């Protein structure tokens, strides 16, 4: 499979801060690739550099065969972008937002294309509505449709569902899956592990400007963490666990909550049930991998 | 050469942004033009009829006609400045319209030049609308001079559009622009010869006046409107000064905007 985006040894420093420190990855054509990472990990900076919004200090980027940032205009002709903050044009209605944006590409949208994009964003009945009258979810969908005016081969999405309610989020996910079915290549950054697990063929976990893990969500869960997690609640939890070390592989304590990781938690679950303790038993997921790799400290 | 200091690359792409602004403006054409003409009109009649009744002629010209020449340039300056400051700042910083555009095959130079052309067009429209009023009022001496006056209006508007965009690149909020208007635009109105001859100013202020763009705009418009004389050397000097303000303003705004937005 051909590579749609190849990022090689990317470095970017803002004054004292090293935002990206040697990130490398390749995204295949038709793939949905997710970059996960805590705030300040360097996700958005990486995206900005791939789009030539920001210039790397060193490292190379090949986007759809174009060298960035040198061939940025040719590349952008084939790329769609959904930015982190909506920047729809409030001076225009929904249709005008699409036609004016297409004009920046030097394109004129046909009536059929406009209808298709409005249908895609679920805004056919609001075609002439002003942007300020749309809900957050509608604006996001229109932003997504706007990113498609040039029929892009590659779409960048920077936290596409942040700030949306679950209904709006599921609708965006459904639309992104439609795009995957048409063989478009997607790169998205997200905080939501569920989003990454549902949508992405592969994910990269980024922290402190470096990519620390890369693979399919399932592989990462298999390779980076134990199979099962038992969450136990209680004030005396530390002592209780200290005397039963054979029941789990390792644990992390977080206030009155302990996360016990094990490849076979049956014995631990039985012990907890016997004592009538408050606990949850579940398979490990991507969020556990993420927290294991990036730690539980707040990034502020 | 540091790419930051390269002169802006001129491409027809910039007109895509100019067209966007035009599309917005078209929704509010009449109120927009009326407002642009209203302020210079207030000055024209307020001073022209009020002060004019007291002093009669000035330099052999009826006072109403005397300041009419100044108000045409003033209208162009004011309208171009507002567009390059408040409106461009709204699109650059508040609505983040520029950021959206910069994800398309448009460069920052395209965006900036497009804004420059647009603010210049708006200033020119305001100046020409004011000129029409002046003509209707019978204050213009000759129809033949009108195309030349229009060229001066366009040059004036493009100069203030360029200067305004440089100031815009430095602004943190709308409040910043009140400094520009209070410290630059308003004193310039008084020192430019729009309301009274520069010769009555104290000598040091006359020197300051000679460096102000509006002075040269008024210098060029007045003789063509009132039928007065202007030496060819003075004409050439005034055109060159306005061209220098335009070029320098545009170059400065390019560098400052790149420094602000490209990291």
CB within 8 Å: B262 and A101: no
Query: Contact at 8 Å (CB) between A26 and A9?
Result: no
Grade residue A300 by pLDDT with cuts at 50, 70 and 90.
low
- B14-39 pLDDT per residue, tens: 999 999 999 999 998 888 888 888 88
Contacts of A74 in chain B (CB under 8 A): 105
Q: In the prediction, which pLDDT does B227 show?
A: 86
Mean pLDDT of A137-150: 95
Contacts of A88 in chain B (CB under 8 A): 100
State which H helix or E strand residue B31 sits in: helix B29-45
* B residues 81-120 lying closer than 8 A (beta carbon) to A: 95-97, 99-107
Query: Contact at 8 Å (CB) between B111 and B101?
Result: yes
Q: In the prediction, which pLDDT does A299 show?
A: 65
Instruction: Tell me the C-alpha distance between A40 and A207, whole Å.
Output: 8
Task: State the virtual CA torsion across B96, B100, B106, B107 in degrees, nearest 10.
Answer: 40
Instruction: Tell me the C-alpha distance between A143 and A152, whole Å.
Output: 14
Q: Is this complex scored with an ipTM above 0.95?
A: no
* Interfacial residues of A (vs B; Cβ cutoff 8 Å): 14, 51, 53-55, 73-74, 76-77, 79, 81, 83, 85, 87-92, 96, 100-101, 103-106, 150
Q: Which residue has the higher pLDDT, A143 or B142?
A: A143
Query: Contact at 8 Å (CB) between B121 and B157?
Result: yes
Interface test mutation site (partner A, options B105, B114, B258, B260, max chain A beta carbons within 10 A): B105
Cα-Cα-Cα-Cα dihedral sign, residues A177, A178, A183, A184 = negative
Grade residue A178 by pLDDT with cuts at 50, 70 and 90.
very high
Closest CA to A83 of A44, A125, A114, A55: A44
CB-count exposure of residue B150 (10 Å: 0-12, 13-18, 19+): middle
CB within 8 Å: A104 and B16: yes
Residue with tokens 């969908």: A141
Residues in chain A: 300
Query: Contact at 8 Å (CB) between A24 and A34?
Result: no
| CA B179 distance to own-chain centroid | 17
A89: nearest CB among B27, B97, B103 = B97
Closest CA to B134 of B74, B69, B76, B192: B69
Task: State the virtual CA torsion across A217, A221, A223, A227 in degrees, nearest 10.
Answer: -160
Grade residue A254 by pLDDT with cuts at 50, 70 and 90.
confident
CA distances (Å), B177 to each of B117, B180, B181, B182, B250, in order? 20, 5, 6, 9, 18
- A144-158 pLDDT per residue, tens: 999 999 999 999 999
What is the 3-state composition of chain B as percent helix, strand, coil, each rounded to the nearest 5? 80, 0, 20
Q: In the prediction, which pLDDT does A127 show?
A: 95
Considering the segment(s) A3-216 as one domain, its CATH architecture is 3-Layer(aba) Sandwich (3.40)
Interface test mutation site (partner A, options B97, B100, B261, max chain A beta carbons within 10 A): B100
CA distances (Å), A13 to each of A20, B101, B108, B176, B226, in order? 7, 25, 22, 30, 61
Query: Contact at 8 Å (CB) between A156 and A84?
Result: no
- A75-123 pLDDT per residue, tens: 999 999 999 888 999 999 999 999 999 999 999 999 999 999 999 999 9
Query: Contact at 8 Å (CB) between A154 and A184?
Result: yes
Grade residue A272 by pLDDT with cuts at 50, 70 and 90.
confident
Mean pLDDT of A184-192: 93
Instruction: Tell me the C-alpha distance between A124 and B59, whole Å.
Output: 66
């Amino acid at each position: 499979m051909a590579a749609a985006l190849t990022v090689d040894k990317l470095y970017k420093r803002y004054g004292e801060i090293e935002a990206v420190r040697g990130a490398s990855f390749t995204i295949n054509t038709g793939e949905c690739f997710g970059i996960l990472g805590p705030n300040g990990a360097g996700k958005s900076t990486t995206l900005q550099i791939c789009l030539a919004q920001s210039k790397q200090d060193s490292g190379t980027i090949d986007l759809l065969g174009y060298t960035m940032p040198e061939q940025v205009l040719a590349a952008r002709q084939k790329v769609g972008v959904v930015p982190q903050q909506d920047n729809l044009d409030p001076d225009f209605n929904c249709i005008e937002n699409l036609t004016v944006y297409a004009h920046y590409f030097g394109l004129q949208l046909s009536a059929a294309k406009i209808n298709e994009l409005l249908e895609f964003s679920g805004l056919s009945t609001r075609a002439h509505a002003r942007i300020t009258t749309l809900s957050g979810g509608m604006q996001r969908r229109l932003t997504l449709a706007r990113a498609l005016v040039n029929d892009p081969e590659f779409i960048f999405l920077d936290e596409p569902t942040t700030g949306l309610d679950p209904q709006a989020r599921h609708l965006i996910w459904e639309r992104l899956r439609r795009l995957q079915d048409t063989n478009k290549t997607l790169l998205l950054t997200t905080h939501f592990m569920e989003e990454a697990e549902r949508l992405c063929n592969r994910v990269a976990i980024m922290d402190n400007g470096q990519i620390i893990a890369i693979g399919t969500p399932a592989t990462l869960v298999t390779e980076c963490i134990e199979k099962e997690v038992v969450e136990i609640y209680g004030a005396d939890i530390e002592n209780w666990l200290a005397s039963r070390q054979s029941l789990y592989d390792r644990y992390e304590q977080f206030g009155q909550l302990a996360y016990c990781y094990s490849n076979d938690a049956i014995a631990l679950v039985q012990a907890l049930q016997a004592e009538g303790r408050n606990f949850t038993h579940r398979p490990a997921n991507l969020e556990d991998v993420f927290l294991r790799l990036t730690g539980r400290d707040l990034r502020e | 050469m540091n790419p930051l200091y390269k002169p802006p690359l001129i491409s027809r792409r910039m007109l895509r942004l100019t067209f966007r602004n035009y599309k917005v403006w078209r929704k509010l054409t009449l109120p927009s033009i009326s407002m642009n003409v209203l302020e210079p009109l207030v000055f024209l009649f307020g001073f022209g009829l009020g002060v004019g009744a007291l002093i009669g002629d000035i330099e052999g010209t009826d006072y109403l006609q005397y300041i009419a020449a100044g108000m045409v340039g003033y209208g162009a300056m004011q309208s171009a400045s507002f567009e390059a400051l408040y409106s461009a700042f709204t699109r650059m910083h508040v609505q983040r319209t520029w950021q959206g555009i910069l994800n398309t095959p448009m460069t920052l130079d395209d965006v900036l030049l497009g804004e420059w052309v647009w603010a210049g067009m708006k200033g020119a429209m305001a100046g020409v609308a004011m000129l029409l009023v002046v003509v209707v009022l019978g204050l213009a001496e000759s129809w033949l001079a009108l195309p030349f006056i229009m060229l001066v209006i366009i040059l004036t508007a493009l100069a203030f559009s360029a200067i305004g965009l440089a100031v815009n690149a430095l602004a943190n909020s709308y409040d910043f622009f009140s400094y520009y208007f209070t410290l630059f635009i308003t004193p310039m109105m008084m020192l430019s010869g729009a309301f009274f001859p520069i010769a009555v100013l104290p000598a040091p202020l006359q020197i300051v006046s000679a460096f102000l763009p509006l002075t040269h705009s008024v210098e060029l418009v007045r003789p063509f409107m009132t039928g007065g004389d202007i030496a060819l050397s003075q004409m050439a000097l005034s055109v060159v000064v306005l061209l220098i303000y335009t070029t320098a303003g545009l170059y400065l705004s390019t560098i400052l905007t790149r420094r602000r937005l490209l990291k």
